[in-house]
Amino acid sequence: MKVSNRKRVMVTGGAGFLGSHLCERLLEQGCDVLCVDNFYSGVKDNVTHLLPHPHFELQRHDVTFPLYVEVDEIYNLACPASPIHYQRDPVQTTKTSVHGAINMLGLAKRIKARIFQASTSEVYGDPEVHPQQESYWGRVNPIGIRSCYDEGKRCAETLFFDYYRQYGLDIKVARIFNTYGPRMHPNDGRVISNFAVQALRGEDITIYGDGSQTRSFCFVNDMIDGFIRFMESPSHLPGPVNLGNPGEFTIRQLAETVIHKVGGPSRLIFKPLPQDDPRQRRPDIAQAMEHLGWQPRVGLDEGLDHTIAYFRKIVGR
């Protein structure tokens, strides 16, 4: 009997937007992939096309409970990442970030696996430093409506680095900035999906605040490249490392660009800015460029074309 030398990789949150793209890429690289998801915000349709693959396995599981499997690497992506999803059950969101991290770190320690944590630019909160470097500690409201996600991810980072220092665990902590592309959920409340769907439906585009707040948008293919390069980097580089596109745009610029690309009668309407919504968001990716040889290649114009084409199929226009 031939023993396989394929790398065994588990992706928690594997049926989500980023997770499904990661599973796909890992299969293309010849890995055995275990996709774990409880489908709270992940969608089975995202990975249906992978089910016939002989080296892909899908398991329904909630990471707030222990999981006992044998793998070589773990990508911990499990956690709702859009405000609509993570604010729907904030207690569960915190549990997913914190208990999930504890359970996945415990598993990695037991089986001696390298483990990747999908952290977030939200650990910087509403920053006083711009662009945001990994050395910046952040400005986060610990009791606001976004805190379940922001503080949950910050606590997860603490756990990862304590396991790194205390047990010598092989960790990789990535701080992910706004990412977009095909397989985004059309109703997840993120700005690009909101604008694209509203424009395709001929509805007015809703901007919260005056539209002067800025974001940086990374196309999903570039982000997955960053994940894999970071995971394959030497053990002495635990992170945290910013992964995102440093191109910075105002929300109004984004809305006007989407309307131009879609066409139609959409106008801009303005509503009050939600509590603790960051005014600025732009990654400093010097560390990723130096240590990983990584930087985004897909500009917003090209990425929006791919994303709008995806939503056009869903919306039917």
Question: Which residues have a catalytic role annotated?
Answer: 149
**19 and 185 Cβ atoms separated by less than 8 Å:** no
**74 and 12 Cβ atoms separated by less than 8 Å:** yes
**283 and 177 Cβ atoms separated by less than 8 Å:** yes
Cα dihedral 169, 287, 277, 259 sign: negative
**36 and 11 Cβ atoms separated by less than 8 Å:** yes
**34 and 69 Cβ atoms separated by less than 8 Å:** yes
Q: H-helix or E-strand containing 120?
A: strand 114-120
Q: How far apart are CA 26 and CA 21, in angstroms?
A: 9
Q: What tokens appear for 121 in the block?
A: 């630019």
